[in-house]
Amino acid sequence: MENREERITLKPDNHDMRLKYYELILESRSLAELPCYPLPEGYRYVYYQEGDKKDWIAIETSAREFILPEEGESAWKRYYAGKEKELENRMFFVETTDGEKVATATAFYEPRDLSGAGWLHWVAVKREYQGKGIAKALISHTLQRLKELGYPSIKIPTQTNTWVAARLYLDFGFRPVPQNAVDSQIGYGILKTLTNHPALAGFEPVPYEGIWDSRMVQIEKRLREQYPGLVHFRVLEENGQDRILYCTESGAGEWDGAL
pLDDT tens per residue, range 113-164:
989 999 999 999 999 999 999 999 999 999 999 999 999 999 999 999 999 9
- CA 35 vs CA 30, 49, 200: distances in Å: 11, 27, 20
| 183 backbone dihedrals φ, ψ, rounded to 5° | -65, -35
Bridge-partner residues for 159, per DSSP?
A: 23
Question: Helix 53-62 to helix 69-79 angle, to the nearest 10 degrees?
Answer: 120
**In whole angstroms, what is the distance from residue 197 CA to residue 203 CA?**
10
Per-position DSSP letters for 49-60, written without gaps between them: -TTTHHHHHHHH
Bridge-partner residues for 47, per DSSP?
A: 92
**In whole angstroms, what is the distance from residue 216 CA to residue 47 CA?**
37
**In whole angstroms, what is the distance from residue 232 CA to residue 161 CA?**
12
Low-confidence spans in the chain with pLDDT less than 70: 1-8, 258-259
Contacts made by residues 223-227, CB under 8 angstroms, sequence distance 24+:
223/255, 223/257, 226/255, 226/257
**In whole angstroms, what is the distance from residue 102 CA to residue 91 CA?**
13
Q: Which of 248, 233, 253, 225 is nearest to 2 (CA)?
A: 225
Bridge-partner residues for 118, per DSSP?
A: 154
**In whole angstroms, what is the distance from residue 126 CA to residue 132 CA?**
11
Terminus-to-terminus CA distance in the chain, angstroms?
Answer: 11
Three-state SS at 81:
coil
pLDDT at 126: 97
The answer to whether the beta carbons of residues 244 and 219 sit under 8 Å apart is yes
**In whole angstroms, what is the distance from residue 51 CA to residue 151 CA?**
28
Looking only at the bridges linking them, the beta strands covering 154-159 and 118-125 are parallel
Going along the chain from its start, the domains and CATH numbers come out as 30-152 (3.40.630.30)
- The DSSP code for 137 is H
The answer to whether the beta carbons of residues 168 and 136 sit under 8 Å apart is yes
**In whole angstroms, what is the distance from residue 259 CA to residue 246 CA?**
15
pLDDT at 96: 97
pLDDT at 259: 62
**In whole angstroms, what is the distance from residue 92 CA to residue 146 CA?**
12
**Count of Cβ atoms closer than 10 Å to residue 147 Cβ:** 16
